[in-house]
Structure 1
Amino acid sequence: MEQQKLPNSTLILVFGIVSIVTCCCYGILGLIFGIIAVVMANKATKVYMESPESYTGFSNVKTGRILAIIGIVLNVLYLIYTIYLFSTLGMDGIQEMQEQILEQYGG
């Protein structure tokens, strides 16, 4: 019997990586990618467990799931930090802080 590639295994891996890379987008964009990757990984794991000898690419699913979980944690932490900044400093305070950082490092 010929083995076929597990559906969405590469996409799960890519979404896991994207969830980590986009954690600085206020924690929302990466959180979405991470949750989607975990849901897809759970479905792919169920398909694989029904017939493991029929599929390849399960290592991509496992790696993507781990990366997605790491991305979810990073995004939740960054989202909490962003909410904290908005609640304490407000939008004006955040803009002033950004201007100070730009002046300090921008020259």
Structure 2
Amino acid sequence: MEKRELPNSTLILIFGILSIIGCCCYGVAGVIFGIIALVMSKRAIEIYNADPELYTGYQNVKTGKILAIIGLVLSALSLLSTIIVFIFFGGMEGMQEIQEEILREYGG
């Protein structure tokens, strides 16, 4: 019997990569892509485990899942740090005021 590609194996890998890149966008995009990749990889692993001889592309699924976990952790940290900044400093306006105050004190 001819081997077939696992459904969405390449897409899982792409979403895993995008979840790592998405952590730079305040973490929101990375969390979204990471969750989607994890859900898709869970389904693909179930399909593969049902009949492993029938499918190829399992390595893409494993790699995409690992990248999604890494991206999800990095994105969660980025999102958490963004929330903390907004809580403690009142957003970007508060940060700008703090920077101006530091410049006045130490900048001369």
Instruction: Please report the TM-score for the alignment, with normalisation by the length of structure 2.
Output: 0.86
Structure 2 portions without partners, runs of 5+: 101-108
Alignment partners' CA distance in 1, 2:99 and 2:51: 54
Alignment partners' CA distance in 2, 1:62 and 1:29: 21
Deviation >2 Å, runs of 4+: 94-99
Residue identity over aligned pairs, in percent, reads 61
Residue 22 of structure 1 and its aligned partner are, at CA, apart by 1.1
Q: Does 1:22 align with 2:19?
A: no
Structure 1 portions without partners, runs of 5+: 100-107
Alignment partners' CA distance in 2, 1:61 and 1:95: 44
Pick which of 89-98 and 2-11 moved more. 89-98
Per the alignment, residue 10 of structure 1 pairs with 10
Per the alignment, residue 69 of structure 2 pairs with 69
Instruction: Please report the TM-score for the alignment, with normalisation by the length of structure 1.
Output: 0.87
Q: Greater CA radius of gyration, 1 or 2?
A: 2
Deviation by residue 1:64-102 (Cα, 9 ceiling, x = unmatched): 000000000001101110010000111212345789xxx
Alignment partners' CA distance in 2, 1:94 and 1:48: 50
Deviation by residue 1:2-36 (Cα, 9 ceiling, x = unmatched): 00000000000000000001101111111000000
CA RMSD of aligned residues (A): 1.6
Per the alignment, residue 94 of structure 1 pairs with 95
Q: Match for 2:89: what amino acid?
A: L
Alignment partners' CA distance in 1, 2:41 and 2:4: 17
User: How many pairs were matched up?
Assistant: 99
Alignment partners' CA distance in 2, 1:16 and 1:37: 6
